[in-house]
């Protein structure tokens, strides 16, 4: 995840209380990594992680674990969205992060990895609108 952080922080992104970040799969882990690296006094509004995994348990990206203590308090709202049958990222990862970060966990059954390559219906994820507006919790 250092590569993602370097790219993002080398640009003019202004992370503040109006920022919304949505990441999928390795992008979800990158979102956690970005929150981890934010300055202590910075906080964003919302972070949504879709199909997250624990990097120390997989070879999909850096095996560097996320420091939960550095992520806590960096977003007003954190939501983990996961399927109960993801073939790549076990639900356990989302459950772990949601519990340790005191975040929301939304499980949407039978949606594999929310990947267009696995199922073309995943060109859109309309449930995100409901999650963001508070209609799905």
pLDDT band at 1 (very low <50, low <70, confident <90, very high): low
The answer on pLDDT for 7 being more than 80 is: no
Task: Give pLDDT tens digits for 96-126.
Answer: 999 999 999 999 999 999 999 988 888 999 9
The answer on pLDDT for 4 being more than 80 is: no
pTM of the model: 0.90
How many structural domains is the chain composed of? 1
DSSP secondary structure of the chain: -HHHHHHHHTTT----TT-EEEEETHHHHHHHHHHHHS-TT--EEEEEEES---GGG-SSS--PPP-HHHHTTSEEEEEEEE-TT-SSS-HHHHHHHHHHTT-EEEE-TT-TTS-TTT-GGGG--THHHHHHHTS--
Task: Give pLDDT tens digits for 54-91.
Answer: 988 877 777 788 999 999 999 999 999 999 999 999 99
pLDDT of res. 128? 92
What is the domain extent for residue 77?
2-133
CATH of residue 11: 3.40.50.1820
Task: Give pLDDT tens digits for 40-52.
Answer: 899 999 999 999 9
């Amino acid at each position: 995840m250092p590569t993602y952080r370097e790219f993002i922080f080398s640009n003019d992104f202004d992370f503040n209380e109006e920022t919304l970040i949505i990441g999928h799969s390795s992008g979800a882990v990158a979102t956690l990594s970005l929150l981890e690296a934010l300055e202590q006094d910075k906080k964003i509004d919302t972070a949504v992680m879709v199909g997250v995994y624990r990097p120390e348990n997989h070879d999909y990206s850096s095996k560097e674990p996320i420091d939960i203590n550095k992520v806590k308090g960096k977003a007003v709202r954190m939501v983990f969205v996961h399927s109960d049958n993801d073939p790549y990222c076990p639900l356990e990862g989302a459950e772990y992060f949601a519990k340790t970060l005191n975040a929301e966990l939304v499980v949407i059954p039978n949606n594999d990895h929310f990947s267009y390559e696995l199922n073309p219906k995943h060109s859109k994820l309309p449930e995100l609108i409901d999650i963001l507006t508070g209609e799905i919790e």
